Amino acid sequence: QVQLVESGGGLVQAGGSLRLSCAASGRTFSMYAMAWFRQAPGKEREFVSAISRSGDKIYYTDSVKGRFTISRDNAKNTVYLQMNSLKPEDTAVYYCAADWTTIPTMIPESYEYDRWGQGTQVTVSS
């Protein structure tokens, strides 16, 4: 089974950019749909973005559309989240998640992701 390790978080001013990376162990990364979630203090974890195994299908939550870009490199077993025009409300712990899918273009429901990383903190100052 895949294990996930996030990196790239940090402190940035509003309007700045960060790129998060999620490195996966194992040789079956290409069989997993991947997603990013986030959890702000005192709030529930929320979906941010997801990408299918093939990379052909991508979803974003409305609040990040046009600012965030998800991508994956199956050769490097890594999924990325490029975050531009960051806002203070983007402050959260960001988690990478994976779900084994049989259909290359499938995006799982949020509850279906069963492999999680430890999270990386993103703080956006105003």
Mean pLDDT of 21-46: 95
Using a pLDDT cut of 70, give the percent of the chain over it.
100
Inter-residue contact 29 to 74 (CB < 8 Å):
yes
pLDDT digits (tens, 9 = 90+) for 39-87: 999 999 999 999 999 999 999 999 999 999 999 999 999 999 999 999 9
Q: How far apart are CA 72 and CA 41, in angstroms?
A: 28
Q: Is 22 helix (H, G, I), strand (E, B) or coil?
A: strand
Mean pLDDT of the chain: 96
User: What value does the CA radius of gyration of the chain take, rounded to a whole number of Å?
Assistant: 14
Q: How deeply is 70 buried, as exposed, middle or buried, from its count of CB atoms within 10 A (0-12, 13-18, 19+)?
A: buried
pLDDT digits (tens, 9 = 90+) for 108-121: 999 999 999 999 99
Residue with tokens 């999924």: 79
Q: State yes or no: pLDDT of 27 exceeds 90.
A: no
Higher pLDDT, 54 or 27: 54
Beta-ladder partners of 97: 35, 116
CA-to-CA dists, residue 39 to 26, 81, 122, angstroms: 27, 15, 10
Inter-residue contact 34 to 72 (CB < 8 Å):
yes
Pair type for strands 120-125 and 10-13: parallel
